[in-house]
Amino acid sequence: MRSMMLVLFALVLSTGCAQMAMEKPTAKIAKMSVQDINSSGFTMNFGVDVHNPNSKALPVKAADYQLMLSGTKVLEGKAKPESAIPAGGAAQIQVPVTLSYENLLAAKSAILKSGGNLSYALDGGLSFDAGGMFGGLRVPMKYSGELPVMDLLKNPMALLKNPALLNLAKALMSGFSNE
């Protein structure tokens, strides 16, 4: 009788643990677009493709990130994307990273050397609410590319209202005329 109870207990325990197993979702940044260019700065909006292999939807709690411009760390922060990844499904969430023109000035010499484009790298992660005993899950994400700085200079109102952007535009124009 006692051995029968132990077998039954082991069976219940193993079945419960199997149902509670939580797999980490995957996250891959698919694209970056520059948006909301204004007199204060602009937003680099990262589209992250997330796949949830679990039988339970996973709410996104937060995104953390560190942004490097031409090898120089210019920004560290957090975002709160309002989203949940459906059970056994996928979704693209947006992670907005807002920069000021002063952030760009930190990489001024690299912009001048590159002729107007600037390499960037985003290193961060998405945190999910896995609920129950699991608490939170964090999935890392990385992405790199080139930021077209010259496109930012096409907004005349931003140039007039922001001394840092005007300074950057003058430096770029004088750098190009010296070549």
Q: What is the pLDDT along the chain (179 residues), one digit of tens a residue?
A: 555 555 455 544 444 444 457 899 999 999 999 998 888 889 999 999 999 999 999 999 999 999 999 888 999 999 998 899 999 999 999 999 999 988 888 887 787 787 778 899 999 999 998 876 656 789 999 999 999 887 777 777 777 777 777 777 777 777 655 54
Domain regions of the chain by residue span:
22-177
pTM for this predicted structure: 0.78
Please state, in angstroms and rounded to a whole number, the distance separating the CA atoms of residues 49 and 58.
Answer: 14
pLDDT score recorded for residue 47? 97
Please state, in angstroms and rounded to a whole number, the distance separating the CA atoms of residues 66 and 41.
Answer: 17
3-state secondary structure at position 87 = coil
173 membership: H or E segment, kind and range: helix 163-177
Q: What are the residues whose beta carbons fall under 8 Å from the beta carbon of 42, sequence distance 6 or more?
A: 34, 35, 36, 98, 99, 152
Please state, in angstroms and rounded to a whole number, the distance separating the CA atoms of residues 18 and 63.
Answer: 29
pLDDT score recorded for residue 9? 55
Please state, in angstroms and rounded to a whole number, the distance separating the CA atoms of residues 93 and 82.
Answer: 8
Q: Which fold has domain 22-177?
A: Immunoglobulin-like (2.60.40)
Assess contact for 86 and 146: CB atoms under 8 A.
no
